[in-house]
Amino acid sequence: MSLLTRSLQENRRTLALAFPIAAGNAGQMLMGVADTVMVGQVGVVALAACAFANTVLAVPLVFGFGFLSGVSVRTSHAFGADKPDSAGQALKWGAVLALATGILVALLIQCGVPLLPLLGQSPEVNRACVTFLLLCAWSVIPVYLTSAAKSYAEALGHPWEPFWIMMGGVLLNIFLNWVFIYGNLGAPALGLEGAGVATLISRIVTMLGVVTFILSSQEFARYRPHNPFDFRDRAEIRSLIKIGLPAGTMHLAEVGGFSFGSVMMGWAGVVPLAAHQIAITCAATVFMIPLGVSQAVAVRIGQARGAKASERFLPIAIGAQSVVVSLMFLSTLVFVLGGHWIARAFVSDPAVVALTTKLLLLAGIFQIVDGIQIVCSGALRGFEDTRVPMFIGIFSYWAVALPISYFLAFHTGIGPAGVWIGFVVGLWVAAVSLVWRLWLRIATASRTSK
């Protein structure tokens, strides 16, 4: 059987898992899109404050997602090796890590509020964002618990149930935004703070839904922990941390870099920051597609490793990359041809619309390489190979992207768009490096299995 045929066969299985994962990820992003669109009707300052708060939260939030990614890897490996007890241990210790990390993040944000002026934003933006920031910070706890439970269900081949629960959470968030932002159904009109209240409530409800599904479904009975409150055996948590800490650091390098780019946009003024928020929201929403494929590839590589089926590694990786490149090319066309109309859907301010259109052109350029690098990262995570990708991420975003962004934005005539050009270069470096690392990893695994 040819490599092409095997890749197509593996693709069907990967996409069957990736589609609901990507849709669920997009559903979570839609909460941010809903906040941006609905807060944008309040005013430019409120939109800029929303952008700034989301920028501050993005760094610890995404680090946590990477830190908890070991739940998916360890559960999928246990599933492939038919070791249900190990899957139960991954769920139990994953929940412990999720709870502890969520509380730590919320407390750090709470204590760090007095330091916000050090990030160089305007006083009006700093004042407007505080309550929204704190409400969203405490909502990180249910977000992390949902992520751990969702990853566990997906690794066991049940991605659709968490997807529908999360879609319900998105609809609830939109409804509560309408109630609390604008003051409907007798509620006070809270503006940006109302969006924070809606986000906190909807995330708690979503967490309760996913956790209830896992604890009540008979299909998970064999894989649930037999002694959920016995924490004496800590071998599994050490494995989760070994995988998750480098993965989280890599996510931190990427998102921290982009977040610092947002801070630089804030140095240029309220209009560039508002435009950046719209463009990065659109790019991040589309990014949920390759991210979903990446998560599915990590699961499928983990299952193949558990089953000792090394001949499936290359077809899984090649099939996933071909799909992502094709889909990201289509998204590039949408951003390039429809950028103006996309910007107008968010805000009517002419200056914000004009700059957003330019940024969406650049977003279209880096979509393809961004998809390539995240799928390679997911495949390597399936191999429990996260340490080298961590160093690649740190170098690509902090040693390459940020210096170029700063130079182009503030020492040439390019202006705010230079921030995004720097990240286009950094993403290319990350993509090429991770493709090479994955190729070596698959080649080594294939040789050692013979």
Nearest CA-CA partner of 189 in 197, 181, 178, 200: 181
**What band does 313 get if pLDDT is binned at 50, 70 and 90?**
very high
Structure confidence at residue 96 (pLDDT): 95
What are the tens digits of pLDDT across the range 333-372? 999 888 889 888 887 888 888 888 989 988 888 888 999 9
d(CA 109, CA 133): 8
Structure confidence at residue 178 (pLDDT): 93
For residue 434, what are its two tokens?
Answer: 């991770």
d(CA 121, CA 135): 20
Reply yes or no on whether the pLDDT at 430 is more than 90.
Answer: yes
What does the mean pLDDT of the chain come to? 88
Look up tokens 């959920």; give the residue: 228
Q: When comparing pLDDT for 324 and 287, which is higher?
A: 324
Structure confidence at residue 266 (pLDDT): 82
Sort 410 into a burial class: Cβ within 10 Å, 0-12 / 13-18 / 19+.
Answer: middle
Nearest CA-CA partner of 70 in 392, 444, 432, 386: 386
d(CA 101, CA 145): 10
What are the tens digits of pLDDT across the range 40-90? 878 888 888 888 888 788 778 888 888 999 999 999 999 999 999 999 999
What are the tens digits of pLDDT across the range 256-297? 788 788 888 888 888 888 888 888 878 887 888 898 899 999
Domain ranges of the chain: 3-449
* CA dihedral angle for residue 330, residue 332, residue 336, residue 340, rounded to 10 degrees: 90
d(CA 219, CA 333): 42
Work out the percent of the chain whose per-residue pLDDT is above 70.
Answer: 97
What are the tens digits of pLDDT across the range 402-416? 999 999 988 888 888
Work out the percent of the chain whose per-residue pLDDT is above 90.
Answer: 49
**What band does 38 get if pLDDT is binned at 50, 70 and 90?**
confident
**What band does 383 get if pLDDT is binned at 50, 70 and 90?**
very high
For residue 278, what are its two tokens?
Answer: 């719209």
**What band does 28 get if pLDDT is binned at 50, 70 and 90?**
low
Query: If you average pLDDT over residues 405-434, what whole number do you get?
Result: 90
Reply yes or no on whether the pLDDT at 442 is more than 70.
Answer: yes
Of 29-33, 90-94, 434-438, the range with the lowest mean pLDDT is 29-33
Among 28-32, 152-156, 253-257, the range of highest mean pLDDT? 152-156
Structure confidence at residue 449 (pLDDT): 55
**What band does 6 get if pLDDT is binned at 50, 70 and 90?**
confident
